[in-house]
Structure 1
Amino acid sequence: MKILVATAKGQGIRTSDYHFATEGEHVVFASECDRRESIDGRCGCKRGLAGTTSRKVTTTALVIDADIDRQDYIDGIVAAQAEAWADLIPTEELVEEAEEMLRIADCFPVGAVVEKRGTSIKMRDPRAVTATSA
């Protein structure tokens, strides 16, 4: 099953890139502030994905084919997110987020490096990713 995990691959393509998450950990949408700044603004929340274990963020994620059952993945994401957000976000919304992450991962080929740009998830140019990973 395709899922998104934190990666340093492709970092540096944008000057606003950052990678503090643990390589290979599952990622979800990072919380966003209400500042009215551009996607590449100082805050960075409009381009961040958060690691579910480290709770640290990255601007790049890798699509992998993981040996995990769909329900186990959803349960794991919900458990990790509930640990941080249980008092603020209902379980149903956490399930929806996990399912959305699976839908997004399924849109891209295994090995693709993706980025969050506002409300969009896009694949980074594979040629540029290869150049930065060399």
Structure 2
Amino acid sequence: MMKLLVATALTQGVRPNDYHFCIEGELVWIGLVCAADRADPDGGCGCGRGFGGLNSVRATTTARVADLPFTRADYVEALRSGLHQQGWMLAPGEIAYMADDLAALVADVPEGAVLERRLDDVVVRALPAEQ
């Protein structure tokens, strides 16, 4: 079992510019930020505050910590496959590093917590008891 980030509609609307276009429960990653949002997570694009869906190729401003029946190898393959589908051609070492970094980000966060992103900061928006 691994704690991973998945898309969620929970707590949508807390911020007026929230959005949720992902498939509920799909794995998400933290993508690059475009020039329009680089200095402001509330910029016009929205990528500075979003998590990218690995299956839907859509995005959401909220992600939930889920304990899933994945091994590290499973997670690396899920990232590789999802990113490859989106046109990202990353080296295996880069994908493994990304998997480890994303898993470490949520390792100490309680399962069910909802997170939000503000550029390079990913913070808890709500704990399970608050939802």
The TM-score bracket by the shorter chain reads 0.7 to 0.9
Judged with a 3 Å threshold, the aligned counterparts in structure 2 of structure 1 residues 91 and 82 are, in CA distance, closer, same or farther, namely farther
Aligned to 2:15: 14
Aligned to 2:71: 69
Q: Secondary structure at the match of 1:111?
A: coil
Aligned to 1:59: 61
Matched-pair identity in %: 37
Q: Number of aligned pairs? A: 129
Aligned to 1:28: 29
| CA deviation after TM superposition for structure 1 residue 126, in Å | 3.7
| CA deviation after TM superposition for structure 1 residue 91, in Å | 3.2
Aligned to 2:84: 82
Judged with a 3 Å threshold, the aligned counterparts in structure 2 of structure 1 residues 76 and 126 are, in CA distance, closer, same or farther, namely closer
Paired amino acid for 1:41? G
| CA deviation after TM superposition for structure 1 residue 30, in Å | 2.6
TM-score (norm 2): 0.88
Paired amino acid for 1:62? R
Whichever structure has more helix as a proportion of its residues is 1
- The 2-side partners of 1:50 and 1:97 are apart by 14
Q: Secondary structure at the match of 1:124?
A: strand
| CA deviation after TM superposition for structure 1 residue 37, in Å | 4.6
- The 1-side partners of 2:65 and 2:126 are apart by 14
Aligned to 2:109: 108
TM-score (norm 1): 0.86
Aligned to 2:124: 123
Paired amino acid for 2:107? D
1:40 lines up with 2:42 in the alignment: yes
Unaligned runs of 5+ in 1: none
4+ residue runs over 6 A deviation: none
Please report the RMSD computed on the Cα atoms of aligned residues, expressed in angstroms. 1.9
Greater shift, 2-11 or 90-99, is seen at: 90-99
| CA deviation after TM superposition for structure 1 residue 121, in Å | 0.7
Unaligned runs of 5+ in 2: none
Greater shift, 109-118 or 29-38, is seen at: 29-38
- The 2-side partners of 1:40 and 1:126 are apart by 23
